[in-house]
C-alpha cells in the first residue's frame, strides 16, 4: 500500500494523456502536435478517433483552477464562447473535464495569428490591412449585436485559417452586458491595446473594442503599436494623454480612420457599423482573398488591380504587367526528354557568360524594407547568445518548455540539385514551387500552380509572366527551370512533404534563394525572407532558422519537426544534437557575413 501511494505521489500531475476521453459520452481524442501555451492553458491538436476531425484542444490543469474566481472566469469564457456562431469567430466545438484537466475543443486555425504575420512582416500593405480588419469588424458587429464585448482584441487573438480568413478567438476576458447602457469596471486587457477609460476605471463598454481596433489598424500599417514604449508605466501615460504619431507614409484615409478609432473620449468613437462604411474600406482596393505567402512576403496586386481597372475578359494568368513584356505569346511544349536535349544544344558560351557576370558587384537593391544583410546580423547575435548559454549542459527534463510552434517556418527548401558547374542551383520549396538561382545571380521561380513564373534580376527587380507567355530573352532559363523541376520530381525525396498545402494564387510573392554554399558536412541555403537552412549530409537532419521569429526548427532523422524559441533554449537548454548544430550554424552565419556575399553562390567552406 505504501508503495502504491509513493507511485501516485511521484506521477506528474500535469501530464496530459495521449488518448483523451470525454467521460460524459465516451468520445476519444488522440493528442497530436503541440500548438503552444499561454496563460493557464496548453494547446494541442486533438483528433476525434471516430470522425478523424482535428480540433485545437485548449487544456487547463485543474491544479491551476484552485481559487473560485479562476473557476468563475473559465466558466464565463466557456459560456460566452459556446453561445457564439459566426464566420469570423473561432468555432466552439465542445468542452468536458476529467479528474485532472478541463478540455475545450475549438476550430483549428493552422495559419496561427496576425501576431506571427506581424513579426515576420512588420508593416503590411493597405489592401492586406483592409482585408484583415474588415473581417474583424464583421465579427465585432456580430459580438456587439449579441451584447458581447471581447475586451482583448489584439493581433495574437486574431487567428488565421487555411483560407487566410480571420477568426476572433480567446474569450477569456470577454463579458456580456446584462442591459443597454451598462458599464463594466474590471481593469483588464493587454497593455498596448488597452483603452484609456479602462485605465481610468471610469466604466467601459463596446467602445473599448473600437479603441483596440484602432491599435490593430495602426500596428498593421506602421509595424509597431501606437503607444508602445520600453516601460509599461510610460505606455499607460501615453495612452492616457493620447500621445501617438502617425508616420507620413500612411495614406490620408488610413490616417483619418486611425484618428477616429483612437479618440480619447469613447463617446466620440464610431461604432462598428460606422467603421465598416469608412472611406478606408470603400475607396481602396480590397482583395477578395490573400495567398498564404503573405504570411512572410508582401503579395503583388498589380495583375488583379490592372485586370479590374481594364475590365477585360482576358484570363488573369495571361495578363502581364511587368513593364518589359514584348508581346510575344508562345507556348513552350518541350517534354522531359527533349528538355535535356534542348539544354545540351545551348551554346556553351551562353553559360560561360552567366558565370562571368556573377563576378560583377551586386548593387544590393531590395524590393522591401529588409536590411542589406537580410537579417544575418540579427541571426548571428541570436545564435551567439544561445551558444554562450551552453544549452546542452542545462537541458531540463521539460524539453517542451523551449518549444514554440508559432515560429515554424512558412517556407523552406524541400529539394535541391547542384548544377552550378554549368548553370546554377535548382530547388523546390515546401509548397511545391520551384526556383533556380542561376550562375549570373538572376533567379526564376515557378509557382506551385505550375503556371505563373517570377523572374528576378540581379538588382532585385521583379517581373511576372506565365509558362505560356514570357519574353524570348528568358527562353533558355525557362527551359532550364523546367529541366530542374522534372529532375527533382523524378529523382529526389521531398522533406516534410505534408507540412504546407499547395497554394496557387496570382497574388503570391515567394522568398527566393539569395545565396548558398556547400561544405564537407552540409549545404547552407539563405532565403530572401531571412530564413537560413542547413541540411546535414551524413544523417539528413536539418535546421531552419528564422531571425524574425527568433526561432529554430529541427528536423531529425525521422523527419519530425520541432520548433524552439532561441531565448527559451537559453533558459531551459536543448539536446546535444541540436546544440551542436546551432554551434555549426553560428560558424556558417559568421562566414556568410564575413564573405559579404550579396547574392548567388558564396565561397564553399571546408568544414
Query: Annotated binding residues for ATP, as ranges?
Result: 58
Residue 406 phi, psi (nearest 5): -65, -20
DSSP annotation of 600: E
CB contact at 8 A, 148 and 175: yes
C-alpha cell, 415? 529539394
Q: What is the CA radius of gyration of the chain?
A: 26
Is residue 341 packed enough to be buried (19+ CB in 10 Å), middle (13-18) or exposed (0-12)? exposed
Q: How many Å apart are CA 546 and CA 536, to the nearest integer?
A: 18
DSSP-derived letter for residue 338 is: H
Which SS3 state, helix, strand or coil, does residue 443 take? strand
170: annotated active-site residue: no
| CA distances from residue 448 to 406, 553, 603 in whole angstroms, order as listed | 24, 23, 30
Catalytic hit among 152, 373, 440, 505: 152
Decide: helix, strand or coil at residue 235: helix
Q: Which run of H or E residues covers position 95?
A: strand 92-97
Q: Label residue 227 left, alpha or beta by phi (over 0 means left) and psi (-120 to 50 means alpha).
A: alpha
Q: How many residues does the chain have?
A: 607
Instruction: Give SS3 for 103.
Output: strand
- Reduce the DSSP state of residue 467 to 3 states and report it: coil
Q: How far apart are CA 564 and CA 550, in angstroms?
A: 9
Helix (H, G, I), strand (E, B) or coil at 181: coil
Helices (H), 332-465: 336-345, 348-357, 376-388
Active site amino acids: 152
Amino acid at each position: 500500500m505504501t508503495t502504491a501511494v509513493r507511485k501516485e505521489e511521484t506521477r506528474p500531475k500535469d501530464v496530459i494523456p495521449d488518448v483523451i476521453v470525454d467521460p460524459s459520452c465516451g468520445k476519444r481524442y488522440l493528442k497530436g502536435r503541440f500548438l503552444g501555451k499561454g496563460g493557464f492553458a496548453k494547446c494541442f491538436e486533438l483528433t476525434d478517433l471516430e470522425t478523424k476531425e482535428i480540433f485545437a484542444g485548449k487544456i487547463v490543469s485543474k491544479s491551476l483552477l484552485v481559487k473560485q474566481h479562476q473557476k468563475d472566469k473559465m466558466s464565463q469564457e466557456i459560456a460566452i464562447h459556446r453561445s457564439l456562431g459566426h464566420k469570423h469567430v473561432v468555432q466552439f466545438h465542445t468542452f468536458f473535464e476529467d479528474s485532472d484537466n478541463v478540455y475545450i475543443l475549438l476550430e483549428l486555425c493552422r495559419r496561427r495569428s496576425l501576431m506571427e504575420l506581424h513579426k515576420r512582416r512588420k508593416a503590411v500593405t493597405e489592401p492586406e490591412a483592409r482585408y484583415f480588419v474588415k473581417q474583424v469588424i464583421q465579427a465585432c458587429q456580430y459580438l456587439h449585436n449579441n451584447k458581447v464585448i471581447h475586451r482583448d482584441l489584439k493581433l495574437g487573438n486574431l487567428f488565421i485559417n487555411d483560407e487566410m480568413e480571420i477568426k476572433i478567438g480567446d474569450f477569456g476576458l470577454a463579458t456580456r452586458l446584462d442591459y443597454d447602457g451598462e458599464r463594466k469596471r474590471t481593469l483588464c486587457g493587454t497593455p498596448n491595446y488597452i483603452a484609456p477609460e479602462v485605465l481610468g476605471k471610469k466604466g467601459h463598454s463596446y467602445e473599448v473594442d473600437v479603441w483596440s481596433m484602432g491599435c490593430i489598424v495602426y500596428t498593421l500599417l506602421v509595424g509597431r503599436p501606437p503607444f508602445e514604449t520600453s516601460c509599461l508605466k510610460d505606455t499607460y501615460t501615453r495612452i492616457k494623454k493620447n500621445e501617438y504619431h502617425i508616420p507620413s507614409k500612411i495614406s490620408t484615409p488610413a490616417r483619418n480612420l486611425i484618428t477616429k478609432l483612437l479618440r480619447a473620449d469613447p463617446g466620440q468613437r464610431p461604432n462598428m457599423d460606422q467603421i465598416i462604411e469608412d472611406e478606408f474600406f470603400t475607396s481602396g482596393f480590397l482583395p477578395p482573398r490573400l495567398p498564404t505567402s503573405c504570411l512572410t512576403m508582401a503579395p503583388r496586386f498589380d495583375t488583379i488591380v490592372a485586370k479590374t481597372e481594364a475590365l477585360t475578359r482576358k484570363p488573369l494568368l495571361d495578363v502581364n504587367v511587368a513593364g518589359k513584356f514584348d508581346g510575344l505569346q508562345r507556348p513552350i511544349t518541350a517534354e522531359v526528354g527533349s528538355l535535356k536535349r534542348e539544354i545540351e544544344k545551348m551554346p556553351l558560351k551562353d553559360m560561360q557568360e552567366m558565370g562571368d557576370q556573377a563576378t560583377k558587384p551586386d548593387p544590393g537593391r531590395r524590393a522591401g524594407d529588409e536590411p542589406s544583410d537580410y537579417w544575418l546580423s540579427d541571426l548571428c547575435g541570436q545564435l551567439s547568445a544561445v551558444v554562450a548559454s551552453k544549452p546542452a549542459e542545462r537541458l531540463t527534463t521539460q524539453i517542451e518548455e523551449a518549444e514554440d510552434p508559432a515560429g515554424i517556418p512558412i517556407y523552406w527548401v524541400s529539394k535541391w540539385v547542384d548544377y552550378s558547374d554549368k548553370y546554377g542551383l535548382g530547388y523546390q520549396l515546401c509548397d511545391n514551387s520551384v526556383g533556380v538561382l542561376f550562375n549570373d545571380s538572376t533567379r526564376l521561380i515557378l509557382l506551385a500552380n505550375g503556371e505563373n513564373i517570377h523572374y528576378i534580376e540581379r538588382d532585385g527587380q521583379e517581373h511576372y509572366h506565365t509558362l505560356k507567355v514570357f519574353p524570348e530573352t528568358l527562353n533558355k532559363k525557362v527551359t532550364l527551370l523546367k529541366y530542374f523541376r522534372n529532375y527533382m520530381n523524378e529523382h529526389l525525396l521531398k522533406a516534410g512533404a505534408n507540412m504546407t498545402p499547395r497554394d496557387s494564387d496570382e497574388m503570391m510573392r515567394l522568398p527566393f534563394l539569395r545565396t548558398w554554399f556547400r561544405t564537407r558536412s552540409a549545404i547552407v541555403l539563405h532565403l530572401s525572407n531571412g530564413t537560413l537552412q542547413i541540411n546535414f549530409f551524413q544523417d539528413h537532419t536539418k535546421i531552419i532558422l528564422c531571425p524574425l521569429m527568433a526561432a529554430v526548427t529541427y528536423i531529425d532523422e525521422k523527419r519530425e519537426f520541432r520548433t524552439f524559441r532561441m531565448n527559451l533554449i537559453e533558459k531551459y537548454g536543448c539536446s546535444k544534437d541540436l546544440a551542436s548544430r546551432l554551434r555549426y550554424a553560428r560558424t556558417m552565419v559568421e562566414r556568410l557575413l564575413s564573405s559579404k556575399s550579396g547574392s548567388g553562390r558564396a565561397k564553399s567552406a571546408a568544414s
